């Protein structure tokens, strides 16, 4: 059994080799965190170029291959391709043995277009419009981005919801292990800002008698129509195009209302109002499913959530991350009880909250 050193100041991690000589040669911190940020820009564009050049799908079809063969197949410059492939290896996104390159497990799962958790369509659109990052300092000075996606939401959201579908569908399917929507006999679902409708599709597939009202802007609903058709549940869906703040939804009607990644672009008033609308549309005993990248009260223990919130701030008028404290306060103030937080798959969080029978 490891025992603690009797004199903590003499622990191995506190010797001069680690800390420098006190008072005389203070050892400065490494520059690695700064370099990793600088390289972040290049890393992203390396991956984007690899997707654009079809590298992962081509390697899937060829299997392990030499760069000279791959460059001929892709009709690209061999030395430039080699540089790109080596960079992908350095980033942990490909494997390489001598001159032979092949997909590693990460690439097979997330980067091929038919991978089981493919993010291939998400990569180009996930950061939002790239120019908004270039003018971030200006956005912070002015308190709003120069070209917010709010000006033309559908041209941003159509490719985005295509890209996020696989991940959200996995989260929605796995959520059943914790919340057991599959035990409901004939649930009626309202999915607000449904995108490709991953939540509705997961529920409709688990419950053969379920029906869903699927809302989004009309152009985005075309994605939902395609996805529900592909999953053979379209005949149990009603599509309601329009702004979810303006449409009227039935009162005391739904067993499940889904707010999947819609609140963090809405600002406090918009998010609260959506939660209140969800409450009034639910039957007593019905449940709200509120998915987002929630962050902690001190805003530092979930860096992924913080950066997702930043992405929203960079490209929307009202977008900010939502803290767990805000979410639970809004849920309780709207009348919900039995509030529960689950993580159906890594880094995807979901509040489940119930409308009481005696509200
Ligand atoms: C990040 S996507 C989430 C899609 C889906 N709910 C999911 O969890 O994968 C946000 C969606 O909300 C929709 N949306 C945003 N504002 C809306 C509004 N005012 N009315 C209806 N839909 C809206 C967008 O078009 C987009 O499809």
HSE at residue 207, side-chain half, CA atoms within 13 A, is 23
Neighbours of 32 (CB within 10 A): 8
Give nearest CA residue, ligand 1 atom 3. 261
Strands 237-241 and 211-216 come out as parallel
Q: How far is CA 119 from the centre of its chain?
A: 10
**% of the chain beyond a pLDDT of 70:** 95
Distance between CA atoms of 233 and 237, rounded to whole angstroms?
7
CATH 2.40.50.140 fits 32-109, yes or no: no
Give me ligand 1 centre to Cα 262, in Å. Answer: 5
pLDDT at 181: 98
Give me ligand 1 centre to Cα 355, in Å. Answer: 23
Strands 348-354 and 337-345 come out as antiparallel
Segments making up each domain of the chain, as ranges: 32-109, 136-354
Query: 213 vs 7, which has greater pLDDT?
Result: 213
Task: Tell which residue, 95, 59, 64, has the closest CA to residue 74.
Answer: 59
Sign for the pseudo-dihedral over CA of 29, 93, 223, 344 = negative
pLDDT at 19: 74
- Enter the CATH code of domain 136-354: 3.40.50.150
Give nearest CA residue, ligand 1 atom 13. 193
- Which one of 216, 227, 291, 292 would you pick to mutate in the ligand 1 pocket, going by the greatest count of ligand atoms within 8 A of its CB? 216
Q: Mean pLDDT, to the nearest integer, of 225-241?
A: 98
Query: 301 vs 5, which has greater pLDDT?
Result: 301
pLDDT at 246 over 70: yes
pLDDT band of 5, cuts 50, 70, 90: low
Residues touching ligand 1 (Cβ under 6 Å) are: 153, 157, 161, 164, 168, 193-195, 198, 215-217, 220, 243-245, 260-262, 291
Q: pLDDT tens, 69-105?
A: 999 999 999 999 999 999 999 999 999 998 899 999 9
pTM listed for this prediction: 0.89
Q: pLDDT tens, 117-131?
A: 999 999 999 999 999
Q: pLDDT tens, 178-219?
A: 999 999 999 999 999 999 999 999 999 999 999 999 999 999
Give nearest CA residue, ligand 1 atom 19. 243
Query: 69 vs 359, which has greater pLDDT?
Result: 69
pLDDT at 6 over 60: no
The phi and psi torsions of 12 (rounded to 5 degrees) equal: -55, -35
Q: pLDDT tens, 167-179?
A: 999 999 999 999 9
**% of the chain beyond a pLDDT of 90:** 90
Average pLDDT for the chain = 94
**CA distances from residue 355 to 9, 190, 227, 257, 278 in whole angstroms, order as listed:** 55, 14, 30, 11, 10
Q: pLDDT tens, 15-39?
A: 777 777 766 666 678 899 999 999 9
Give me ligand 1 centre to Cα 263, in Å. Answer: 9
pLDDT at 66 over 70: yes
Q: How many residues does the chain have?
A: 359
């Amino acid at each position: 059994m490891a025992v603690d050193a009797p004199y903590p100041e003499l622990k191995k991690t506190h010797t001069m080799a680690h800390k420098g000589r006190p008072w005389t040669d203070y050892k400065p911190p490494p520059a690695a965190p700064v370099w990793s940020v600088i390289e972040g820009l290049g890393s992203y564009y390396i991956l984007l170029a690899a997707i654009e050049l079809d590298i992962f799908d081509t390697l899937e079809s060829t299997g392990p291959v030499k760069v000279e063969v791959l460059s001929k197949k892709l009709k690209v410059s061999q030395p430039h391709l080699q540089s790109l492939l080596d960079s992908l290896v350095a980033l942990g996104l490909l494997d390489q043995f001598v001159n032979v390159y092949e997909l590693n497990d990460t690439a097979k799962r997330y980067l091929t277009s038919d991978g089981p958790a493919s993010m291939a369509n998400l990569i180009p659109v996930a950061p939002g419009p790239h120019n908004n990052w270039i003018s971030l300092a200006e956005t912070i000075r002015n308190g709003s981005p120069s070209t917010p996606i709010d000006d033309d939401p559908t041209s941003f959201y159509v490719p985005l919801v295509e890209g996020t579908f696989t991940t959200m569908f996995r989260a929605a399917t796995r959520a059943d292990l914790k919340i057991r929507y599959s035990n409901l006999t004939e649930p009626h679902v309202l999915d607000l800002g449904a995108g490709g409708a991953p939540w509705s599709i997961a529920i409709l597939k688990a419950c053969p008698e379920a029906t869903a009202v699927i809302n989004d802007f009309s152009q985005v609903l075309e994605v939902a129509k395609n996805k529900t058709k592909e999953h053979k549940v379209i005949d149990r869906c009603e599509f309601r195009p329009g702004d979810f703040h303006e449409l009227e939804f039935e009162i005391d009607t739904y067993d499940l209302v889904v707010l999947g990644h819609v609140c963090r672009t809405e600002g406090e008033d918009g998010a609260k109002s959506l939660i209140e609308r969800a409450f009034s549309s639910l039957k007593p005993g019905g449940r709200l499913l509120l998915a987002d990248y929630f962050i902690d009260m001190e805003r530092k223990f979930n860096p992924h959530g913080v950066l997702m919130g930043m992405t929203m701030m960079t490209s929307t008028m009202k977008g900010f991350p939502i803290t767990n404290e805000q979410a639970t306060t809004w849920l309780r103030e709207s009348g919900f009880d039995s509030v529960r937080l689950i993580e159906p798959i890594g880094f995807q969080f979901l509040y489940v909250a119930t409308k009481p029978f005696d509200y």
